[in-house]
Every structure is written in structure tokens, then in C-alpha cells.
Chains A and B, each alone.
Chain A
Amino acid sequence: MTIYRSAAALSAGTVTPAGTLAVPVGAAVIGVSLGHRELAEADHWILSLLPAPVLACTHLVREPFPHVAISLVGAASTASPATASPATGPTTTGPTTTGPAAAVPEAAAGGSGGSLAALPGVDAALEAQPALRAAADLAAAGQSGRAVIFPGVASLVGTLSVADVLALSAIDRIEILGGEVPDPDALVETNDFIRPQYRAGQLVLTAMPAADGRLVPFESRTPTPCCAAH
């Protein structure tokens, strides 16, 4: 497994979830490219970080091969590699349901370099992987991305109304696939698995019509595998 990290300072107006749970302006954004082929592998790595970052997104990258790059905001300088699971190879294990804390680690704010060294799985000897550098740079720069950890995610469990999802988390908007307009009172079966996407600076959760007039997130925790027979 190779890794490349890239860092950038978050400036005002980028990746800034609305509401009271905003990520502090100026927090470090770290791009990581571990070569994960599947979203579930990247999620698993992200959710193993302790303490958790404030914001962690996945980014789909085609080069040098199709894989998932990761951006992290507010990764603490006190992160402990010993308690995390460095990516040592592909895993099919789904992410844990443990919700990350929404607190902002003090060390996260400020410069763009201070918090890097403590990331689990980071080995200086592996940093010069030019093939993955571009992916890490993209992740660090992107204001798109699929959010795995974001302010309020720990509260998005069980069944919640659309209004509650918006009130409890940094999610700005819920859109329903197929074009229906969401009723604030409509119920969302979260399945404790919410992966909104940044779109034009807003964090948007796409949902689907489901049984009994309820909604479910578009992305399922357990999608049908592509094929059992490989």
C-alpha cells in the first residue's frame, strides 16, 4: 500500500458547512491517497482515525488507476497511530457505526503542516509516490467530495425527519432522486449510514423514496456486490 499526503490551508468560503457546527476557517486540509479501490475500504480507514477529524471526505480518482482519495480537515496532532488501523490491504469490512465526535480538536486549526506527522499509516519513506500525489492534491483542494465524517454525523442515527437531519448536522439540503420535493416532516431511515456530497459548496444528501412513504439515503451501506464468482 502506498500513501501520499498533500496539505493545504482551508480558506474562507471553501468546504464550510453552514450552521453552528462550522469547521473553523483556516483549518488544515490534508489530502491522502492510499490507493483504496472501494469506498468501504476508505471509509474504514477514515473511521479508524483517533481522534476523529472534523471533516473527512472521499474523492473518486481515475489516475493512475481508479481509486478513492481522502481529504481530512482538523486531523489532530495528537492522533494516535497505535489505535488506528493503517490500510494494509483491501478490506471488504464495512465501516463501523461508531459516530465520530463533532468537536474540533484544538490543534486542527492553524497551519497546514503541523498535524500531518501523526496520521496513522503515514510513513515518510512512502511519501514520494508521484503517482498518487496528484490524487492527494486533488483531495486536498477539492470542495467536492463525499462526506464520511462531518459535523453532526453522530446524531444521524435511526429514523429522523428531514427537518431534524438538517437541524442536527452540517447537511444543507436533502434532495430526492426522481425530483420529488422533500417534506420537512418526511421520515428518513438513516440505517446509521449517511454519506452526503459537497456540491457547489453545499453539503447535500440525496435520498430515495422507500417503503411506507419514507426516505432512505441514496447510498446503501450494503450495496449488492458486483459479482460473487471472481
Chain B
Amino acid sequence: MGHGHEHAHDDFTAAADVSPALDLSVPDSELSPSDVSRRGFLRSAGLLGAGAAASVFAAPGVAEAAGVAHTHGPAGGGTAKGGFQWLAGDHHIHTQYSSDAMYRVLDQAKRGHAYGLDWLVITDHGSNAHAKIGVDKVNPDILHARSALPGLLTFQGLEWNIPAAEHATVFVHPGKNEVSVLKQFEQTYDGSQQPTTNTDAQNEAQAVAGIKFLGEQVRARKVEGALFFANHPARRGVDSPHEVRNWRDADPTVAVGMEGAPGHQAAGIKAPNGRGGARGLYDNSPSAASFAGYPLESYRTWGGFDWMTATVGGLWDSLLAEGRAWWITANSDSHVVYLDQSDHAPGSDFEANGKLNDPIYTGVTNTSAGDFWPGYYGRTNVGASSFSYKAVMDGLRAGRVWVDHGRLIKALDARVRVAGDPRAASGTPLGGVLQVKRGTSTELTLDIDLQDMPNWATFVPTLKRVDVIVGTVTGPVTDKDTFVAPNTKVVKSYEVSPGSQRVTIKYGLGRLDKPFYLRLRGTDGNRSQPGLMGAGVDLVGPKLDAIGDADPWGDLWFYTNPIWVLPK
């Protein structure tokens, strides 16, 4: 099959940046010493070649071999193999530098670390006060947390008001320019800083420009890495499918994914012991700013997960079926914590100080708060090559990520390999792309260490079922607002025997005919219903969370990111 299109490619390794260092057709030997150095830096930062890709088809010839139209942008997913150390983290945490939160950086970091996190990101809201004051003032507190808690990687970021859309986590690698880059980004691109006369189209363009700006800061060596995750993407219906695609395409080394599950997971605990609201605080309705195509189901959580992720054959799958690398995470969105006994101190002047006063102990138990401490409930597990800021960012960028709630499982190793290959480290891990000759048999090998430790609700969770979800890769969609993947479904479910300590699964994926991807999901089996695309697609999918009675500990799931198998 031919190339499919003739217009100029706009991937950043070619047209968007004409530096010889980025042009991989120029060998190292023909580069100037400074360009050799630059290329080495970019390669080590994961910004060259296979680690930095909008599409899994980006490598030359892959799309043609797969029989689908070539997508734009460099290759995706990552090709690293071998063992990884899995570092648990949370990319969405607020402090007293957000007007609707209250804790010190150290309060959040200490709790997160105590509850088992290896890394976290401080993401206070973009705002006038934060852009002018908070973004500077929070940094010494973050530096203090780094020195006080050397076993925890504490990133500085912000929660970006994406112009024309929802919020996003944006964060950078620590370094001497971390504040200046974040500050310039916030002052230029935060939604709160845009003229109110902007049209939707202008705001959407500004969002794309903001993501590109972050990538430029990395390539200019101001910071060693910058990442973007769309937060609570379906909460208000304002992240349209084409915006999600445009963010990713703006710079695939920066915009890499979205929250598969939102924070605020305590918000559905039944009153009077809890807030009695909607799990995730997903209680909105369509507004004038919402994408009109989204169904009402998209505004609520399903088994605690966002509709984009929870729907088999839904929006996330429509991206994966394009071959578009786009990853999911879990987080706390911690502002004010359920059952905490502290409160706002009186006398704060947020606008003047850029922060609220330190919280005060009251002895009064807060049953109406909807959040958990970082690490207490949801976690994002990243396969990292080492314990370092860079390794975490590399793992996130590569999609070597699985997420769970309530410590449903202890550890997970999923690989796709040529059938019968006995070498443990030879398989392609989460986020990766396995390329084999058409007709070659491949298989999934999945090892899950079941939980043998109590979680933070003092019980040992029991995994009841594991689902294998497979979708055909059909290439780029013509309508960027597509949010269904009709060829994706649950192909196999495994019941876990009571009393098991480990799940070992080998699932034959057959001889490769068409390119495909797979992803995995597991549950405690407590709540389920047929999926929104029908029982034939997802017989026992996550159940709609009830308003005012959604016990987060009684409905636990894990989700993995995908692995692709493509013909070469």
C-alpha cells in the first residue's frame, strides 16, 4: 500500500524544527560538535526516535506494512524491554497555593510518601494570583520537600486551565529554570490569562500553542522534560475529541495522556458519614461550552473511572485504534481531605499573598470533604529504569503505566511476545510496540502479584476477574471528533480462584493478520453492568456510580495502558 498522502509532514523531527540534530537522516559524523551534543541530549531525554511519538506508525514503513494510512508525527510508545522498577505516583495535588485547597506542600508530600508514593507533582490552579505570586512562592516549599523527603520525587507543576477546555496537569523536570518556564507558560497560556473576547477557535489555538511552547523549552535545553495530562477530561463535556487529538499532535513528547480516573474519589461516600455527592465530583450537566455529541453517560463516573476510559470501544479506544499513543493515569486531586481534622486558618488574603495561611488543627472531623490524601487510594504505577525524575518522566512518556484504586493488586507485569519465546525480559511491555512479520503468532504473558497486604482501609483487596481488551488498529480517523472504536471489545475474561497468590496468564493472540492493540482491566467483581457499547463488547463492565452512595473501597479496578502488535 502506498503512502496515502503527499503533503508535507509536520512532525517535529522534520518540519517543525530544522536543526540538523533533529534530522535523523544526518549521521552523527556529519554533525557539528554542538549538534552532536544536542542530539545526545535529546536522545537521552527520550525526545528522539521511538520514544517520542504521536503514532505507533511513525517509524518508516510501519504504516505501509500495517496496511493503514500513515499518521503524522514521530514513533510512539517506546521500545524499551527488560525489567523495570515500578514507581507509584500522583500527578495531581493541590496545596495552600490554590484558593480552594489548604495544605502545605510538606503536608501533602509527607502524606503521599507515607502512603506509598515514590513521586508526586504539586499542581496548584493557574490563576491571576498563582501566575503572579504563587508560582514563585511555592518553589522554596518544593525544594524543602525534596531535601526533607529524599525518598520521594517531588515535581513542580501547575493545573493549567486549558483555554477552551478543562484542566490539565503540566509539569517539568526539576532544574534552575523550572520556575521561569512554568511561570512564562502560565502567564502566557493559562485560560485565566486569555482575553475574554477570544473566540473558541482562538482559545483552542492558544492551547495548542501552549503545548508547543513546553516542547520548545525542552529542545532549547531550558528544562529536561515537560509533560501534560488532561485532568478529569469528561467531567463537564468540554474536552471535545478533536481537542484531545490536537493536544497530542501539538507535541507528542509533551501531551501524552489523560486521567483515566479522576480524583475526589471520596465524594460519593454516603451521608452522614460522607459527603453524599457524586464520585469524582462528576455531577455536571451539558453546558453551552460542552461538546454536543457527548451523551449524558459521559458526565458521570463508572466504577470510579472517567467515561472516556471506562467505556470499552469508547473515546480512549478510538485513539488507540488510530495507533495514537495516549496514556491514562490515576490521581488524588487532593484539595481538602475526607475525615481530616484541620481547617482553613482565618485571615488569609489569597489575592495579595498568592497563598492561604497554614491550616490549623481543629479537632473537628471533616465528613463533607471529597478527597483522599495522595497515595491513599489511587496510584499511577510507572515502569522506570531507575529512581530518578528523568526515569519517571521517561516511563510516563513511554506509557509504561498501569493504575489501580485501593491497592487492588500488588504488582503487574504484562508483555506481548512472539509465541513460545521463553525469555522473560524479551517481551514488549505496556506502552510498547511489537513488530513481527505477518503470520507470526504472538501471545500475551501476564503476571499479577495479588495483594497480600491490607490497604489504607485496612482490608486486603481480592481480585476477582481480569479482562483482556483487544482492538483492531485502523489508522487515522477522518473525523477528528470520532469517539467510538467499533472493533474493540473484551475478548477474554479470567476468573481468579479464591486464595490465589498469583495470577499467571498466557493468552494466544493468534497469527498476526491485522494490526491490533490490547489493554487489560481487572476488578474486585463487586459492581458491574454491561458496557455502554453493549454486552457483546463488554459483558461485565464497570457500573455507573450512584449519586450519594458510592463507596470507593467497595468498587476497585485496575487498568493498564496498551501494547500494540504491528506487522513489519
Q: Which residues of A contact B (CB under 8 A)?
A: 37-39, 60-62, 65-68, 177-179, 206, 208-212, 216, 218-220, 223-224, 226-230
A37–B292 alpha-carbon span in the complex (Å): 15
- Nearest-CB residue, chain A, relative to B530: A179
Contact B544 A61 (CB under 8 A): no
Shortest 9 CB-CB distances between A and B: which pairs?
A228-B100, A178-B544, A229-B125, A211-B549, A66-B288, A229-B127, A211-B548, A209-B546, A219-B285
When the two chains form the complex, which single residue of B292, B529, B548 contacts A60, counting CB atoms closer than 8 Å? B292
Binary flags per residue of B229-254, CB closer than 8 Å to A gives 1, else 0: 00000001000000000000000000
Q: Interface size of B by Cβ–Cβ distance < 8 Å?
A: 43
Main DSSP-derived SS at the A contact region:
loop
Q: Given the known A-B contacts A65-B199, A229-B126, are A60 and B286 also in contact in the complex, defined by CB atoms under 8 Å?
A: yes
Contacts of B1 in A (CB 8 A): none
* A224–B284 CB distance below 8 A: yes
A220 and B100 within 8 A (CB): no
Question: How far apart sit A60 and B287, CA to CA, in the bound complex (Å)?
Answer: 7
Closest A residue by C-beta to B198: A65
Query: Of residues 289 to 310 in B, which have CB atoms within 8 Å of A's CB atoms?
Result: 289-290, 292, 296-297, 299-300
How distant is the Cα of A178 from the Cα of B295 in the complex, in angstroms?
11
Partner of A223, one of B98, B284, B288: B284
Pairwise interchain contact B529-A178, C-beta atoms closer than 8 A: yes
> Residue-by-residue, is B96-113 near A (CB-CB < 8 Å gives 1, otherwise 0)?
001110000000000000
Q: Is the CB of B288 within 8 A of A227?
A: no
> Whole-angstrom distance between the alpha carbons of A101 and B312 in the complex?
46
Q: Is the CB of A229 within 8 A of B130?
A: yes
Given A60-B290, A66-B287, residue A230 in contact with residue B161 (CB < 8 A): yes
Q: Which residue of A lies closest to B276 (CB)?
A: A211
Cα(A38)–Cα(B288), bound, Å:
7
Chain B residue contacts of A60, Cβ below 8 A: 286-288, 290, 292
A208-B546, A229-B130 known; 20 new pairs, CB 8 Å cut-off, are A39-B285, A60-B288, A60-B290, A62-B200, A65-B200, A68-B288, A179-B530, A206-B296, A209-B547, A210-B547, A211-B270, A211-B276, A218-B285, A220-B284, A223-B284, A224-B281, A227-B125, A228-B98, A229-B98, A229-B125
Which residues of chain B are near A227, meaning CB under 8 Å?
Answer: 100, 125, 161, 167
Query: Which has the most chain A C-beta neighbours within 10 Å: B99, B100, B283?
Result: B283
A209-B544 contact, Cβ under 8 Å, with A177-B300, A223-B284, A230-B127: yes
Tell me the smallest distance from the CB of A193 to a CB of chain B, in Å: 11
* B482 interface hit (Cβ, 8 Å): no
The one of B283, B287, B547 in contact with A211, judged by C-beta atoms closer than 8 angstroms, is B547
Identify which of A38, A39, A178, A224 contacts B543 (C-beta below 8 A): A178
Bound complex: CA of A181 vs CA of B334, how far in Å?
A: 36
State in angstroms the CA–CA spacing of A223 and B200 once bound together. 23
Q: Give chain B residues whose Cβ lies under 8 Å from the Cβ of A210.
A: 546-549
For residue B455, which residues in chain A have a CB less than 8 angstroms away from its CB? none
Q: Residue of A at shortest CB range from B288?
A: A66
Chain A residues with CB under 8 A of B299: 218
Q: How far is the CB of A38 from chain B (nearest CB, A)?
A: 7
Query: Which chain B residues lie closer than 8 Å to A229 at the CB level?
Result: 98-100, 125-127, 129-130, 192
| Nearest chain A CB to B305 CB, angstrom units | 14
Do B546 and A211 touch across chains, with their CB atoms under 8 A apart?
yes
B297 touches A178 (CB 8 A): yes
User: In the complex, how many angstroms separate the beta carbon of B124 from the nearest chain A beta carbon?
Assistant: 8
Please indicate the chain A residues that have their CB under 8 angstroms from the CB of B284 in the complex.
220, 223-224
Complex: how many Å from CA A67 to CA B287? 8
What A residues does B191 contact at CB under 8 A? 230
Residue of B nearest to A135 (CB): B288
Cβ of B292: which chain A residues have Cβ within 8 Å of it?
Answer: 60, 62
Min Cβ gap B275→A in Å is 11
Interface centre among A38, A216, A227 (most CB of B within 10 A): A227
Q: Which interface residue of A65, A210, A224 has the most chain B CB atoms within 10 A? A: A224
Partner of A177, one of B126, B236, B296: B296
A residues near B125, Cβ cutoff 8 Å: 227-229
Residue of B nearest to A210 (CB): B547
Instruction: Give the chain A neighbours of B100 by CB distance below 8 A.
Output: 227-229
Within B201-241, the residues touching A (CB, 8 Å) are 236
Q: B530 — which chain A residues lie within 8 A by C-beta?
A: 179
Give B316 Cβ to nearest chain A Cβ, in Å. Answer: 19
Q: With A and B bound together, what is the CA distance between A37 and B290 in angstroms?
A: 11
Q: List the A side residues contacting B285 at CB < 8 Å.
A: 39, 218-220, 223
Most A CB contacts (10 A, CB to CB) among B126, B129, B270, B287 go to B287
In the complex where A227-B167, A228-B125 touch, is A218 in contact with B296 (Cβ < 8 A)?
yes
Shortest distance from the beta carbon of A56 to any chain B beta carbon, whole Å: 17
Given known contacts A220-B283, A230-B127, A212 and B288 CB-to-CB distance under 8 angstroms = no
Complex Cα gap A216–B271 (Å): 15
Smallest CB separation, A166 vs chain B (Å): 20
Contacts of A37 in B (CB 8 A): 288-289
What residues on B are CB-neighbors of A224 within 8 Å? 277-278, 281, 283-284
> Which A residues are in CB contact (< 8 Å) with B167?
227
A229 to B286, CA, bound (A): 21
Q: Which residues of B contact A39 (CB under 8 A)?
A: 285, 287-288
Kindly identify, within residues 264 to 279 of chain B, every residue whose CB is under 8 Å from any CB belonging to chain A: 270-271, 276-278
A224 to B544, CA, bound (A): 19
Q: List 8 A-B contacts (CB under 8 A).
A: A60-B287, A177-B300, A178-B543, A208-B546, A211-B270, A223-B284, A224-B281, A229-B129
Complex Cα gap A220–B283 (Å): 7
Residues of the A chain whose Cβ atoms lie less than 8 Å from the Cβ of B547: 208-211, 216
A208 CA to B277 CA in the complex, in Å? Answer: 12
Given contacts A68-B288, A179-B529, contact A223 B549 (CB under 8 A): no
Within 8 A of A (CB), among B75-131: 98-100, 125-127, 129-130
Residues of B within 8 A of A66 (CB): 200, 287-289
How far in angstroms is the closest Cβ of chain A from B534?
11
| B-chain residues with CB within 8 Å of residue A68 when the two chains form the complex | 288
Contact B288 A177 (CB under 8 A): no
B contact residues around A177 at 8 Å (CB)? 296-297, 300, 544
Q: Contact partner of A230 among B192, B200, B296, B546, CB < 8 A?
A: B192
Q: Mark B55-90, 1 if CB is under 8 A from A, else 0.
A: 000000000000000000000000000000000000
Interface centre among B98, B276, B288 (most CB of A within 10 A): B288
Contacts of B286 in A (CB 8 A): 60
* Interface set, chain B 503-562, CB cutoff 8 A to A: 529-530, 543-544, 546-549
Distance in angstroms from A176 CB to nearest chain B CB is: 9
Which of chain B's residues has its CB closest to A228's CB? B100
Q: For chain B, residues 159 to 199, give those with C-beta under 8 angstroms from any C-beta of chain A.
A: 161, 166-167, 191-192, 199
| A206 contact set on B, CB distance < 8 A | 296
The residue that A67 contacts in the complex, of B126, B129, B288, B548, with Cβ under 8 A, is B288
